[in-house]
Amino acid sequence: MQTIANFDRIGEENAFAVLARANALAAQGRDIINLGIGQPDFPTPPHIVEAAVKALRDGQHGYTDATGIRPLREAVASDLHRRFQVEVSPDSVLIVPGGKVTMFAAILMFGEPGAEILYPDPGFPIYRSMIEFTGATPVPVPIREDKGFAVSAEETLALITPRTRLLILNSPANPCGGVTPRAEIDRLVAGLAEHPQVAVLSDEIYDQLLYDGEQHVTLLDYPEIRDRLIVLNGWSKTYAMTGWRMGYSIWPDGLYDKARKLAVNAWSCVNAPAQFGALAALTGPQDAVAEMRAAFDTRRKVVVELLNAMPGVSCVVPKGAFYAFPNIRETGWKAKPLASALLEQAGVATIGGPDFGTLGEGYIRVSYANSEENIRRALGRMQAFLAEDE
Ligand code: PLP
């Protein structure tokens, strides 16, 4: 039973508070470079924008099916087949207003007092926030630097109890940039056979942002858990569409209709012209996706090199997403005071690791979804700040 008190347990995403502070400082005339927020700095590719504008001009002004327009659900299924050779029925695809909505729906379905939900720590902060909202017990799964920030199957399986209802996975990952290798996922899925009460929410929103020849491993590739697997994905990161609020989820048979009913109750359907834009994104040319990935890759190398040259800083090479998660322990700073000093004194926005979980102390998140020029300027300032501080 949800009460008003449950709302006091809802957390936040500090990236938005940092964005507000960065904007406030910029409004005072300060030159602020934002390496805090996790969104592509590119505009949405023009053919996607055109498709949405055309939909509006063509009169797509009404409600659509609560699950999303049929061609879009078919396009999602075809896209997953093209990229991963997995069979997905369009009838298991739900179009939702942004990736977060799948998280919200899945956690709401499984979270209740007494239930345990496993989530990555450091991880996307909304997982824990939503788990706490439902009254369930959040159980952090450690994501460790010495494991390249990949999930450990052994450690994850050891945390499962008879009360565990949901396991949240995220690869490529925010905030650490880790990618969990196939062998580890194989072990994890094999171990889940002994825990049939555990559903899996696989957050694959960064599935097109992998580097160094790494291939994304989708959990859809494991038939043995398909009947308890929910996949979260969307257009925000791949197609530079964060403000469009376009996401999709894949649900197993037993849960799809529940999610559909939530859609009918909570948002009726997703913005109709945005759905046509998203359709053009999947069915049109994919060159922009490759170009953005190549740009992120170049910046990734710059970020890692510049961070590793700073006194007291060491940075693992991130394999995916668009974040670096440097270890700043040797600087003598705690993470949040450092992030705050960098913003206030050096005009560089980053996010303190503790905003992503208890294991985030000693790290800051540096987003490289910004131009190479800005990244060089920002990290130059950070270098000077730390050198002065020595
Ligand atoms: N999942 C992860 C891991 C994310 O980093 C984000 C956004 O930062 C989301 C989900 C949410 O995406 P959306 O903006 O589509 O709601």
Quote the ligand 1 centre to 46 CA distance (angstroms).
22
* pLDDT reading at 86 higher than 90: yes
d(CA 259, CA 182): 29
Written as six digits, the tokens of 227 are 């009947």
Quote the ligand 1 centre to 99 CA distance (angstroms).
5
What's the domain range around 384? 4-44+287-389
Q: For ligand 1, say whether the CB of 365 is within 6 Å of any of its atoms.
A: no
Confidence at 2, pLDDT banded by 50, 70, 90 = low
pLDDT tens digits along 220-249: 999 999 999 999 999 999 999 999 999 999
Confidence at 5, pLDDT banded by 50, 70, 90 = confident
> Going by DSSP bridges, is the β-strand pair 348-349/33-34 parallel, antiparallel, or unpaired?
parallel
Q: Domain check: are 96 and 243 in the same one?
A: yes
Q: Domain check: are 318 and 181 in the same one?
A: no
Q: What per-residue confidence (pLDDT) applies to 389?
A: 74
Which residue, 239, 264, 283, sits at the end of a domain? 283
Closest ligand 1 atom to Cα of 175: 5
Backbone φ, ψ for residue 324 (5° rounding)? -110, 150
Q: 351 Cβ partners below 8 Å, 6+ apart?
A: 14, 15, 18, 36, 175, 339, 364, 365
CATH code of the domain containing 176: 3.40.640.10
Written as six digits, the tokens of 172 are 């490529």
Q: For ligand 1, say whether the CB of 130 is within 6 Å of any of its atoms.
A: no
Q: Domain check: are 262 and 294 in the same one?
A: no
* pLDDT reading at 390 higher than 80: no
d(CA 324, CA 333): 18
Q: What per-residue confidence (pLDDT) applies to 377?
A: 97
Q: For ligand 1, say whether the CB of 170 is within 6 Å of any of its atoms.
A: yes
* pLDDT reading at 3 higher than 70: yes
Quote the ligand 1 centre to 310 CA distance (angstroms).
30
Q: Domain check: are 278 and 307 in the same one?
A: no
d(CA 311, CA 3): 49
Helices (H), the chain: 4-7, 14-27, 46-57, 70-84, 99-110, 125-134, 153-158, 182-192, 253-266, 272-283, 287-308, 335-346, 372-389
d(CA 157, CA 154): 5
Of how many residues is the chain composed? 390
Q: What per-residue confidence (pLDDT) applies to 26?
A: 93
Q: Domain check: are 221 and 274 in the same one?
A: yes
d(CA 148, CA 383): 24
pLDDT tens digits along 12-30: 888 888 999 999 999 999 9
pLDDT (mean) for 367-383 = 97
Q: What per-residue confidence (pLDDT) applies to 16?
A: 86
Mutate to test the pocket of ligand 1, among 174, 179, 206, 271 (most ligand atoms within 8 A of CB): 174
pLDDT (mean) for 90-103 = 98
CATH code of the domain containing 373: 3.90.1150.10
* pLDDT reading at 79 higher than 80: yes
Q: What per-residue confidence (pLDDT) applies to 1?
A: 57
Q: Domain check: are 205 and 94 in the same one?
A: yes
pLDDT (mean) for 57-65 = 97
User: Under DSSP, is residue 54 helix (H, G, I), strand (E, B) or coil?
Assistant: helix
Q: Domain check: are 71 and 16 in the same one?
A: no
Q: Domain check: are 24 and 66 in the same one?
A: no
| Residue 206 DSSP one-character state | T
Confidence at 124, pLDDT banded by 50, 70, 90 = very high
Q: What per-residue confidence (pLDDT) applies to 365?
A: 98
Q: Domain check: are 235 and 342 in the same one?
A: no
Neighbours of 305 (CB within 10 A): 12
Q: Domain check: are 124 and 220 in the same one?
A: yes
Q: For ligand 1, say whether the CB of 203 is within 6 Å of any of its atoms.
A: yes
Q: How many domains does the chain have?
A: 2
Q: What per-residue confidence (pLDDT) applies to 15?
A: 84
Mutate to test the pocket of ligand 1, among 13, 94, 100, 246 (most ligand atoms within 8 A of CB): 100
Q: What per-residue confidence (pLDDT) applies to 4?
A: 86
Question: Of 105, 91, 76, which Cα lies nearest the Cα of 261?
Answer: 105
Backbone φ, ψ for residue 196 (5° rounding)? -65, -15
Q: Please, what is the average pLDDT of the chain?
A: 96
* pLDDT reading at 218 higher than 90: yes
pLDDT tens digits along 146-185: 999 999 999 999 999 999 999 999 999 999 999 999 999 9
Q: What per-residue confidence (pLDDT) applies to 115?
A: 98
CB 127 within 8 A of CB 119: yes
pLDDT tens digits along 305-346: 999 999 999 999 999 999 999 999 999 999 999 999 999 999
Q: Domain check: are 118 and 246 in the same one?
A: yes
Closest ligand 1 atom to Cα of 242: 14
Q: Domain check: are 8 and 52 in the same one?
A: no
Q: What angle do CA 297, 302, 308 make, to 5 degrees?
A: 125
Which residue, 242, 268, 283, sits at the end of a domain? 283
Examine residue 140 and say whether the peptide bond preceding it is cis (omega within 30 degrees of 0).
no
Q: For ligand 1, say whether the CB of 238 is within 6 Å of any of its atoms.
A: no
Which residue, 237, 261, 283, sits at the end of a domain? 283
